[in-house]
Structure 1
Amino acid sequence: MSSRFVNATSILLAMTATMVSLPLATAESICTLSESESCAVENLKPSDDDGSVLIYPGGNTRCAFDDYQDTVTTFSTNSTYFFQAFPNSDLDKSKLMILFQGGGDVHIGNRITEDFESEYEELLGNSQCLGLNYSMHMNGYNNTMAVLDWALQNYPDVDNLVVAGESAGSLAAQMHSAHIAKMWDVDIRGARFSVLSDSYVGVQPEDKPGSGSLSYYGACGNDFDWSDDVAAACAAGTASTTEMVEALLEAEPEGNWLFINSKGDLTQRYFYAVVEDGIEGYPYTDLISEEDFYSNMTAILNAYKTLDFGTNYYPNGIKPNIDTVNYFGSDFSGQYNATCLLKCVR
C-alpha cells in the first residue's frame, strides 16, 4: 500500500511542477459558460503558448487550490472547475471522443454530506484535519453534464462517437454510456458508438454489491437511462455491478464495447480491499490474489458477453491504466476531438 502513496505523491509533485511551468493564460484563452456566453468552439481564441483554451463550464465543484496563484508564473485557479479544449476552425466535427480521467467521485457524485469530522483522522495522525468539521461535496455528475452539454452544442452531428475512460474514469464511461448515446441520438442517426473501458470493472466482495458505492455517492437517482427498477435496486444497495452495467448495455444494444484489464490489476485489488475491510484494514497486506481477482473479473465480463457487447482484452501483469490516452493519441491523432473531463475535488 505504501507504494500507492509514493505514486500519489509523485503524481502530486508532477502536477505541481506542471502548474509552476505553465505560462500565464491570456483573457482571450479563457471562457466561462453563462446564459449569454456559450463558449462556441469556433469563437474560442487559443493561447499563444500552447494553443489551448481553458473553459469553465460551471457545475458545483470547488477546486483543490481555491484562489491559488503561483508566485513565479502568476498562474491561478479560482472556485470553478475547468477543462481544456483545443479548437481548430477546420476540424472534422463528425468524430468525437469523450475521455473520462480517473479519480474523484467517478464523475457521478451528486451528494453533499452533513458537516463531519472523520473518526480516522486522529488514528492516522492527521492532526491538521481535526476540529474542521467540513462537509464533503460530491458533484462530479453536475460537472460532467455541464461538459457534455457543451460538447453536444459544439459537436452535434457526429457519425462516430467514442466514450473512453481509465481507472475511475472507466466506471464513469460505463455509467454515462447509455445517456451519452441518447444525447447524441446515435440510433436515429445511425452513428457508430463505442465505449472503451480501461482498468476498472467493479469487482466487489460478494456481500457488498457495487451499488453500495453508487448509493454513497448519491448517484442512483442520476439520469443514466436505466429502468426505475434498477435505480431502486441501486438506491437500496442491492444491485450488483453486473446488473447495473447490463442495464446500460441493453439500453444501447448497438454499442461496441472494449474492456481492457490487467489480469492481476493491483489498483483494482487495493480498492477491493478498501471496500472489504474499510480504512481499518490499512495497509492492506492481504490482498485478494491475482487468480481470484481474475476469476471474479472474468465472471462479470463473461456475463456481459451474453449480450454480444464487444471484446475483452486481458494483458498479463498487475499494471493498471493501459495507456488509454496514449492509445488514442497515437492512433487517432487528428481524427478525434478529445473532450477531457478534468475534475477538481475538495
Structure 2
Amino acid sequence: MPLDSKDHPLNSLGFAKPPAETRVVVAMSGGVDSSVVAAQLAEEGYDVVGVTLQLYDHGAALAKKGACCAGVDIHDARRVAEEMGFPHYVLDYENIFKDAVIDEFADSYLAGATPVPCIRCNERVKFKDLLETAKDLEADCMATGHYIQRKTGDQGPELHCAADAARDQSYFLFSTTPEQLAFLRFPLGHLPSKNETRALAQKYGLPVADKPDSQDICFVPNGNYASVIEKLRPGAAEPGDIVDVDGRVLGTHDGVIHYTIGQRRGLGIGGLADPLYVVRLDVEKRHVIVGPKELLTTRTVPVREINWLGDALITSQKEWHISVKVRSTRPPREAILRPISETEAEVELLTPEEGVSPGQACVFYETTGSRILGGGWIWRGN
C-alpha cells in the first residue's frame, strides 16, 4: 500500500517521495554507462527525461567515429529512450562547447601547457548549462554515468571515489561545486566493475550493451592533438629549435604544439649517448628544451583556481596533509597542501613526481578513506 508522501521513506535518489513523483534528467552521451543509468531509473519508476548534447558538428573534420556527443551517439541515446519509454531531447551546445572548451584547449597548447578539456567540459558545460536546463525542466536532480560516488556527510553531500578504482573518474570531476553536488546523482559509482554495468545493459536489452567505450578526447581524431590545433589556429605550428638545457641546438622541430612535457619518442635527435626528454617548452622562443630524465622530477607544484570540497575553509589551516594526483593515470601520492588564498596554494610532494605539467589538474584526496577534497590547476613549470 502506498504511503502518504509525508511518511514516505527516502527513495534511491534521496527524496522523500515515490519515484513516479521524482523527475530526474539523465545526461545521455549515447554510451553504455549513461544509457544504463537512464534505463535503471526508468525501470525503478522515476520520471526520467533524457538529454543529449550535440557538442560539435558531427559532419565536421573535428568529429571522429566513436566519439561521444556526435551523430551516431545521439542516435543511440534516442534508441535507448524509445526502448525504455521516456522522453529524450537533443540540445545544440555547439557554440557553448567551442567557447568554453575547444578554444581554451587550443590556446593552452599554444601557450605550452597540456590541457584537460574533459574537466572543463564537466565544469563549464555539463554541470553548468545542462544542470541549469535540468532545473528549468523542473527536475529534482540530474544523473550521469560517471564512475564516482556522492555520499551524505555531516555537513552535506560529499564527493568520493568510485568503488572500482580502475574506473574512477574523480580526477575529471574535482571542480564540481558543493551546490552542483547537491543536485547531482551518480548511480554507477558503487558498482564493483564495468562488467556489472554491461550486465545491466544486457538485462535491459539496450542496443548499446556491447558498444565500446569512447577513448581519448571526443573532438580529437586518433589522439592527434596537433592536427586539431592546426585546424583551429591556422599557422600555429611554427618551426623552431630543439635545444638542451644549456641552450645548445640539437635539432629542429615543426612546431611546439607537437610536444608535451615528458615526451621521449619522436624527438628526431638520435645518436646521443643518453636518452633525452622534453623538460620544458618555451613558446616565445619556439624552443623545445630537452634534458635527462632526472630534470623531469619535481616536489613543488603551484596550484590555482582551487575548488575546495573540505568541511573547513582551506585557509583555516596552514598545512593540510593529503594525497594528490597530478595525472589522471597515476595513483594518489602523499603531499602537503599549503594554502596561499582560498583559490591558490603550493603543493609539496613527499615523493617527487616526473612530468608535472602546466595545464594539468592537481586533485586533492583524503590520505585515508575515499573522499575527494577538491583540486586546482597546475599553472607553471617545475
The structure in which a higher percent of residues are strand is 2
TM-score (norm 1): 0.25
Which one scores higher on RCO, CA 8 angstroms, separation ≥ 6?
1
Whose radius of gyration is greater, 1 or 2?
2
TM-score (norm 2): 0.23
